Amino acid sequence: MSQMTPEYLQSELPALELFQKLGYDYIDASIDDSRSSISDVLLLDRLGSALQKINPWLSGNVLEKVIRNITTISASSLMEANQRAFELITKSDAITEKPTPDSKPQPVFLIDYQNIENNDFLVVNQMKFHGQGNNSIPDIVIYVNGLPLAVIEAKSPKVSITDAISDLEYYQTNSPKLFHYNQICVGINKGKALYGTIGGSFPHYAKYRADDATAVRELVDREPTAQDILIHALFQKEIFLDIVRNFTIFEVDQGRTIKKLPRYQQLRAVNKILDRLHTTNKGGVVWHTQGSGKSITIIYLATKLRREEAGFDNPTILVVTDRIDLDNQISSTFRRVGFDNPIQTASIANLKELLKDTYGKTLMTTIHKFQERAEELRENVEVLSDKENIFVLIDEAHRSQYGMTAAYMRSALPKAKFIAFTGTPIDKESKSTLREFYGGDYIDKYTIKQSVEDGNTLAIRYQTGMPDFFIEKELMNEVFSATFGHESEEKQAKFKGKAASLDTFLMAKRRVEEIAKHLIGHFRDKIYPDGYKAMLVCHNRYQAIAYQKAFLKLKEQGLNTFETKVIMSLDTKKDPAEFKELAIPEDQVKTVIENFKLPFGSESDLSRGGKKQFDNTAILIVSDMLLTGYDAPIVQCMYIDKLLKEHTLLQAIARVNRTRSGKEYGLVVDYAGITNYLTDALKIFSGDLEAKDVMSDIENEKTVLENRHSKMVAYFSTIKIDRHKERAKFVDACVLYLEPDDLRDKFIELVKLFNKSMDIVLPDPFAVAYEYDLKLFNDIKLEAVNTHTPEKLFITKEESKKIQMIIDEHLRATGVHYLLSEAVDITDSKRFEEELARKGGKTKELTIANRIKHTIQANKKENPEFYEDLAKRLERLIRDREEERIDQAQLLLEFNKIQEEILNSKEEWKRLGLASQIEFPVYKKLEKLFPDPKGLTVAIFEKIGLYLQKADWKDHDDLKREIRKEIKSLLRAAGADSELLKSLPVDIVDILENQ
C-alpha cells in the first residue's frame, strides 16, 4: 500500500503507533517477512521461543511435537477449528506432555495469563496470506506468542465502516487458517470502530464507549478518535488477554455455534464487581436494561470468580431467579456456553446438602425455595451455610427479590456476597431499599437510551389506540332496576360500583370485539408484511379468552386469516370449560412458546434433523406469562389492554426491542390508556432519578415499623390471650372485638400502615422478626371483614355475570381511534413528551395539567432554566389543589398564566434586547449566575457566531470543542469559578444543540 493514502495516514498508521505505545513490537511485513511461506499463518520462530520461555522444560522433540499439535488443527468448519484453538490457548489441560519418558505429563501453556510481560506481543501490517482466490492482505494482524489473535481492517474516513467488515468476512472465507486462532475482528476508519468475532456480519459488530478517555488522550497526545478509544480499550495487554480468557464464549443455538465477545458494559460491570468484592468485600446491584445480555454477564462473572487468581478459594456460585421458567432458561444458557456442570437444586434441603462441600459448585435455584424451610421454622431461620466464599448472583432482581423471602435468603446465607442484576431500576413509589440492601448505589448502570444508541436493542415506538364507546344509560338503568330493584339501597350501590369497575369495563364484550377487529387490521397492514409477529397482553385470563373468542368470530366472518393462541396458567378444578377449550394445554405450552419464535412458512417442512422450521402462529395472547425473560426477536409488536405499571410495564414492552436482521424498531400499541404510567416509568427507566428520589433512610424506617407494630399489638391489649401459643383463640377473640364498624375501620388502617412499613424495610433481616405478626394481623383483618359484612351485601358469581351481561348489552363501541398522530419513539423523550397530551375521559384540570407538563418536558432541553422553574410551579399548584388549598377556578387561572408565559417566552428575547430567540435560553442559564447576564450572552454569541453559521456544526465534535473553548474563555474573564468553567460550557453547547 502507498504510504500516502488517506487510509494509511489517517487510520492504519495511527493504529500502528498506538499499538507501539501500548508496548507491542512492530513489523512492516511488506518490508520484513521472516516466514518461509505465505501459507504460514503462525510465526513459528516466535511461537517456539514463547513456548520455551513460558514452559522452560520444553525442548527438542517434545517442543516440535507441541508445535505440530498447535499448527495442525483438524476440523470440519472454521468455527469448529476456532473453538478447538480457543481451548488450546485457554485450558490448562488442552495439551500435556512428558518432559522425559519417565516423568508425569505436564500442561503446556501457550499464553502466560499470570505474568503478562512474559508473552510476546507483536503488531504486523500488510502481511500477505495464501488465499483460495487472490491472496489476503489484511491491514493489521495482532500476534501473541506467534499466534494471530486479532485481525484489523482499516479504511479511509471517507469510506463506510461496512466495507471494513465486508473485507473481514471475505478474509475468513478466502484464508480461513488465518482465523483458526482469531479472537477479535476489528474494523476501523478513524471516526468509527467496531469489533466482533468470526462468523459475525455487520449487525453483530459492536462499538466501544469509554467512560473516561483521559488515559488514551494522554497516550496519543491529542483528542482521541473512535478507533483510538477502541484499540486502547480492547488491546491493552492485560485487558486483551482477560477478554480472550474470561470473556469469550461459544454458544450453541438451535444446533449452530455462535462465538460471542463482551459488550463494553458487560466487561465494565464484571470488572467493577470484582474490584468491589476485593476492596470492600461487598456485593451490590447492576442495572443493565432489558435485552443487554444480563444472563451472559452473569456467566462472565461466574467465570472470573472461579479463576484461582481471583483469590476466592474455589467459591460456590448460587444463581437465583424468581420463576421456574427463568431458572430453566439461565441453566440452559450456562450449559449452552459449556459452563462446567451447573446444578439445578430440587429443594432447600437439596441446596443445603450441596452447600456442605468445600469444593465450589455452580448451583441454580429459584428464590421461592427459601420459603419452603422458612415457613416451617418461622422466626428461627435455618443457616444453610456460613461460608464466606458463597456468591449469590440474582437475575432479574425486583420486587420478589426484596420481600420477606429475600430476607430469609440473607439470613440463611449470612456471610454470602449478593450481586443483583436488574433490567429495570428500583421503583419510586414503594421507596424500596434494594440498592441499600445489596450494597449502596449501583455498581454499574446501562440505560435503555444507551442500549439503543449502541444498537444492542431497538428503539420502541408507542401508539395509542383507544376505543370509542358510549353507554345507553337510560335503557341500561331500566334493565338494572328490573334485575336488582328488589335489593336494598346498600346492595344496589355495591352493584353499581361493580358495574362501574375497571374489570367490568375492560371485559365488555363489544369493546373487546371492536379492539380485536382493529388489532387484526393493524397486524395485517403494519406487522405481518415484514414477517414479524405480535403479542397481546390482556387484563386477566377471562379477557384473554374473550379476545380469542373475538378473533375466532372474525375468522368465521372471513375477516381474520391469522392464527392466535392463548398462553396462560390453568386451574383444572375452578376454571370454566371454555378455558380448557380455548387455551393451550399445559403440556403443550413450552413447545408453542418455542415454536412461536420460528418464521412464517410451510409447517410441514422439517430440517434434516426432523425439527420444525416454520410456525404460523401470528399472535400470542397472554395475561401474566411471558412478560419477563421471554426472548423472541421475531416479535415486533405488543398490543396492551392491561394497566401495567413501573417495572412490570418496562419488562413487558422490552419483549419487542430484541434485534433481528431487517427489524428497525419495536412497537407498543396501547388500548388500555397506560400513557401516564409509561411516562412515569420512563423517568425511572432513563436513569434520571437520583438515589435520594427513590431511597429511604432505612434506620428511620425501622423505627417507624417498630412504632406501627406496637400500636397494632396494643390495639388488642384488653385480650389476655397469648397470640403465639394460642393463635386460634386469639384470632377468634380479636374478630369478636372488631364487630363494631368504627373499631374495625381503625384496625384496617393500622394494618395498612404496618404492611407499608414492612414493604419498605424488607428485605432487611430486621423485618423477619415481625413476619409472624404480619400474617397474624392480616388474617384477623380478612376474617373480621368477612365475618362482620352482612351476607346480603356480598356479590355472588351469578350476580357478577348478570352485571357483566347488562354492560355487554348496553355498551356500544363504534371503533378505535388513535390519540397520537403517529407512533412515537419512547427512547426519544422530546418527541414522546410533545405528543402526549392525554385526551378523552379526563377532567378539564387534569387534561390541561398534562398538556402543560408535556410541553415543559418537550422544551426542557431547549431552555432548561426557564422550563425547570415552570415545572416546579406546576407541581406546587397540583399539590395545592390535591390538598384543597385552592379551588378549581384558582387552579385554572394559574394554569392560564403558565400557558401565557410559555407563549410569551417565544418573544421574550425581543423585550430583553437580544439579537435572536436562540440567545434567550443561554441568557436564562446565565441569569442567576452572573451580574450582567445580557452582556455576557451577547459576548458569547459574538464570539461563537462564525461556528454557528456552519449548517452542520452539530455533527462535528471538533467544532463543538472549539465553541466550548471560546465560551470557557469568556466565562473565566467574567469571574466563573472552576466548577462552572467545567460544566457551564458543556451545558450551553447542549442547549444550542437542542435548538
- pLDDT (tens digit per residue) in 48-92: 999 999 999 999 999 999 999 999 898 999 999 999 999 999 988
Distance from C-alpha of 212 to C-alpha of 210, rounded to nearest angstrom? 5
What integer pLDDT is reported at residue 885 of this predicted model?
75
- pLDDT (tens digit per residue) in 707-764: 899 998 999 989 999 999 999 999 999 989 988 878 888 898 898 888 877 876 766 6
% pLDDT > 90, the chain: 32
Closest C-alpha to 977, from 930, 923, 928: 930
Distance from C-alpha of 830 to C-alpha of 827, rounded to nearest angstrom? 9
Distance from C-alpha of 906 to C-alpha of 724, rounded to nearest angstrom? 69
Half-sphere CA count of 112, side-chain side, radius 13 A = 17
More confident residue, 317 or 511: 317
Per-residue pLDDT band at 628 (split at 50, 70, 90):
confident
List Cβ neighbours of 833 (8 Å cut-off, separation of 6 or more): 679, 854, 855, 857, 858
Per-residue pLDDT band at 697 (split at 50, 70, 90):
very low
List Cβ neighbours of 60 (8 Å cut-off, separation of 6 or more): none
Half-sphere CA count of 85, side-chain side, radius 13 A = 29
What integer pLDDT is reported at residue 528 of this predicted model?
92
- pLDDT (tens digit per residue) in 479-512: 555 555 556 555 555 555 544 444 555 667 777 8
- pLDDT (tens digit per residue) in 374-414: 555 455 677 888 888 899 888 765 544 455 666 777 888 88
What integer pLDDT is reported at residue 824 of this predicted model?
57
What integer pLDDT is reported at residue 686 of this predicted model?
55
Distance from C-alpha of 232 to C-alpha of 224, rounded to nearest angstrom? 10
DSSP 845: H
What integer pLDDT is reported at residue 548 of this predicted model?
95
Sign of CA dihedral 747, 753, 757, 758: positive
Residue 962 has a CB neighbour count (10 Å cut-off) of 15
More confident residue, 355 or 795: 355
Per-residue pLDDT band at 813 (split at 50, 70, 90):
very low
Distance from C-alpha of 669 to C-alpha of 821, rounded to nearest angstrom? 13
C-alpha distances (whole Å) from 573 to each of 446, 540, 585, 622, 625 are: 45, 18, 14, 21, 20
Distance from C-alpha of 931 to C-alpha of 752, rounded to nearest angstrom? 53
More confident residue, 3 or 982: 982
The three-state secondary structure class of 193 is: strand
Which stretches within 687-843 are classed as H helix? 691-694, 698-714, 727-737, 741-761, 771-788, 797-810, 829-835
User: Average pLDDT over the chain, rounded to whole?
Assistant: 80
Task: Please compute the mean of the pLDDT values over residues 439-456 and round it to a whole number.
Answer: 77
933 has pLDDT over 80: yes
- pLDDT (tens digit per residue) in 132-188: 989 999 999 999 999 999 999 999 999 999 999 999 999 999 999 999 999 999 999
Per-residue pLDDT band at 553 (split at 50, 70, 90):
very high
Task: Please compute the mean of the pLDDT values over residues 821-838 and round it to a whole number.
Answer: 51
Find the Cα–Cα–Cα–Cα dihedral 652, 657, 659, 664, rounded to 10°.
Answer: 150
424 has pLDDT over 60: yes
The three-state secondary structure class of 922 is: helix
Distance from C-alpha of 324 to C-alpha of 593, rounded to nearest angstrom? 15
Distance from C-alpha of 787 to C-alpha of 739, rounded to nearest angstrom? 8
Per-residue pLDDT band at 539 (split at 50, 70, 90):
confident
How far out from the chain centre does Cα 420 lie? 13
Is-contact 654 630, C-beta < 8 A?
no
No. of helices (H) and no. of strands (E), the chain? 41, 25
What integer pLDDT is reported at residue 983 of this predicted model?
80
Most confident of 193-197, 430-434, 807-811, 823-827: 193-197
The DSSP code sequence of 509-523 is HHHHHHHHHHHHHHI
- Work out whether strand 193-196 and strand 342-344 pair parallel, antiparallel, or are unpaired: unpaired
More confident residue, 359 or 250: 250
Sign of CA dihedral 942, 943, 949, 951: negative
List Cβ neighbours of 949 (8 Å cut-off, separation of 6 or more): none
Is-contact 670 650, C-beta < 8 A?
no
327 has pLDDT over 70: no
Closest C-alpha to 774, from 721, 720, 701, 708: 708
Which amino acid appears at position 29 of this protein? A
Residue whose entry in the numeric block shows the C-alpha cell 397469648: 722
The three-state secondary structure class of 924 is: helix
DSSP 599: P
Burial class (CB in 10 A: 0-12, 13-18, 19+), 479: middle
- pLDDT (tens digit per residue) in 752-804: 888 877 876 766 667 778 888 888 998 898 888 877 765 444 555 565 555 45
Closest C-alpha to 495, from 808, 798, 809, 795: 795
Per-residue pLDDT band at 858 (split at 50, 70, 90):
low
Angle at 792 between CA 788 and CA 796, to 5 degrees: 105
What integer pLDDT is reported at residue 42 of this predicted model?
96
Residue 792 has a CB neighbour count (10 Å cut-off) of 10
958 has pLDDT over 80: no
Closest C-alpha to 263, from 253, 277, 249: 249
Q: With residue 84 as reference, give the H or E element that holds it.
A: helix 78-90
More confident residue, 675 or 871: 871
Cis peptide before 342 (omega within 30 of 0): no
- Work out whether strand 362-366 and strand 342-344 pair parallel, antiparallel, or are unpaired: parallel
What integer pLDDT is reported at residue 842 of this predicted model?
37
Distance from C-alpha of 236 to C-alpha of 449, rounded to nearest angstrom? 28
- Among 215-224, 268-277, 935-944, the minimum mean pLDDT is found in 935-944
Per-residue pLDDT band at 676 (split at 50, 70, 90):
low
List Cβ neighbours of 494 (8 Å cut-off, separation of 6 or more): 793, 795
838 has pLDDT over 50: no
% pLDDT > 70, the chain: 77
Distance from C-alpha of 948 to C-alpha of 599, rounded to nearest angstrom? 50
- The three grid cell numbers given for residue 374, joined into one nine-digit string: 422458612
The three-state secondary structure class of 785 is: helix
Kindly give the interhelix angle for 919-927 and 978-993, rounded to the nearest 10 degrees. Answer: 150
Task: Please compute the mean of the pLDDT values over residues 612-632 and round it to a whole number.
Answer: 88
What integer pLDDT is reported at residue 812 of this predicted model?
46
What integer pLDDT is reported at residue 24 of this predicted model?
98
What integer pLDDT is reported at residue 243 of this predicted model?
96
Backbone angles phi, psi at 891, to 5 degrees: -60, -50
Is-contact 336 408, C-beta < 8 A?
no
List Cβ neighbours of 323 (8 Å cut-off, separation of 6 or more): 366, 628, 629
114 has pLDDT over 90: yes
Half-sphere CA count of 842, side-chain side, radius 13 A = 15
The three-state secondary structure class of 879 is: helix
